[in-house]
Structure 1
Amino acid sequence: MCKTHGEYLELFCQKDQEFLCQSCKDSDHTTHKIVALEEEAQVRKTQLVREKKHTDQMIEERLQKIWEFQNSMKASRDNAAEAMSCSKRVMTAVVDYMKRSQAELSEVIEMKQKKTEKEAKGFIKELEGEIMQIKQQNLQLNQVSLDADPFTLLEKFISLTITPPQVKDWSDVTLNSDQFIAQGAWAKLETTVMREISMLCDPDLKEKQRHGVDVSLDPDTANLYLTVSADGKQVTHGDRKRNLPDKPERFGHVFNVLAKEGFSAGKFYYEVQVKDKTQWNLGLANQSINRKGDMRLSPTNGYWTIWLRNGHEFQANAGPAVNLPVRERLQKVGVFVDYEEGEVSFYDVDARAHIYSFTGCNFTERIFPFFSPCVNDGGKNSAPLIITPVKYEN
């Protein structure tokens, strides 16, 4: 009720932000914009809904960011734990291997030393035999030279038969002391140990490489700015658009290309060289993906990929993205897929280390290896993506 007029407050003054009765309106607020109380309440309610929607969105964005940070933190912890586990396995294996190799190494060194000693003793015996022959000849010569009578000396010398001793030229004969026996043996051991270490950093990568397949790029799917090599193993980005038919299977606006080979069952593995590149995309894609418009690389859209940007920004496009630790000197990426288990895993082949895995993937159609060399960036990213043969050592 209005305290001044005793009437119901049914109106609202938007200028003074006050509740009014009819008499208030006709007295002090005649020039102000007056609206019904219900109308003003509806306006304010709309504002509240809009504000709440905005604040809800802000909360959602921050929750999303927290989720991303938590995932990155988890990935970092997992990678750290994996690195610690790997280092322990490596050190244990190295110690065990060194212990096992010590006896073998000692035996090799001892055998070489015995061989050298035997050879030296043989040379010494042979030289001593020649010295005996030479001494016998010297004895004959001394007997003649000691004769004081000139006639007798000449007579003996003329009748003396001098037979050259059966000796050989020793000037070029040397004994190989093999002073680098230990260094050579250790170098061989070091090579073996390093190979064993490389296998230990991810012990099951070797098993995954057993599923290696021959993959070739499909030029009919390549964006018109991409060039696929004649053997189908390399792809680069160029500045000029190629004059080729725009087939339905060809990527239109993004610099992508698929493999010729698609898979709808089983396990398979392939490797891609990314050396000297500052950006690229690699992974798997559904056959039914949109190839003509822009698309977001995520499992929801039928992509399971990782990428590199600016030479150091490394992430898995998991929707939301997961930032990955930068891998120094990453030159070759291995991709393993288990269709039935819904797994797509990426590996640093040279370091034999795990990079990232998509798990629980629900594959329902044919999937294809997916590649993008990205723009050449004025030559900074001109190196090709190269599909390389899988080297599986049994």
Structure 2
Amino acid sequence: MSDQASLSSPLPGSGAEVGPSSSLESTGCCEEHKEYLSLFCLDDLEPLCKQCAADSHAYHRVYLLAEAAIDCKEELKTSLSGLNMKLKNFEDVLQMCKKESKRIQTESKLREETLKEEITKLHQFLREEKASRLRTLMEEMEEKTRKAEERMNRLSEVITPLEEKIQLTERELHEEGDGFEYLQGYNNAMSSTWCGDMKPERIHRPLINVAKHLGNLRYAVWEKMKQIAPYAPVILDSRTAGEVVRVSSELNSFHITSGPSQRADQHINEAIPANPEHFHPQTCILARDGFNTGVHCWDIEVGDTSSWTVGVADKD
């Protein structure tokens, strides 16, 4: 295809024969020159008649309209192919986003169940601790109440005879008579008032030991709770786990599976190409927190394996 088409073809109405190709090329008429639009300007991208090509488009790249139509169709096909490719790429990303959204919802549901289970364990611990401490308080109350009742019974055993002696002595004081007759019974009356060196038993700390039950209560419960909730200095980032890496619900341990996982959350570990943090296919996993200064050390249990690697990774 030449940049400049020949302008020697006969004009309409000149009496010259117009071949079949000329009739095929003519798809319109120029309003200015009343000639068929048989050419196409590549610079302005518009159909032309031969007179327009010779005048206003003299220095433009002009070629036959039929050839231009074929070339334009090819260009459109190329553009259409590019658009289809872009559309496919966007649709692929859209499908990945849908899968990721479904994966997020599924994982959120599973983690919600794990969270509820862990919080339920803490609630159960607190309920049991509450019952245990209330039971201890009640036992102390019952024990001290029993001892107090025993003391009261012993005191009652002493008080009753004393009251009787007091009443008898008061009657002796009000007896009629004096002199010999009164003094004759004085020895017996005095003997009845004698009770020796008997003293009431001193009560030692009869009250509830409040400090024992309420002193630093929440701290004491928290200290005891640490036995069922040990602290893990390293938390694993499940988002970086390889396909065969299965992380525990506490995110402080993991194991490698030899085949497809049978866990309920197997599908949340599917390879997601859009996740740049995901190790594929390596059996690796990173910790959640990083560091850039200081000295760090950990105790790691490797289990029943003779092949393992522990190290640090640069973000780059």
TM-score normalised over the length of structure 2: 0.45
TM-score normalised over the length of structure 1: 0.38
From the CA coordinates, give the structure whose radius of gyration is larger.
Answer: 2
Higher relative CO (Cα under 8 Å, sequence separation at least 6) belongs to 1
Greater helix share, structure number: 2
Greater strand share, structure number: 1
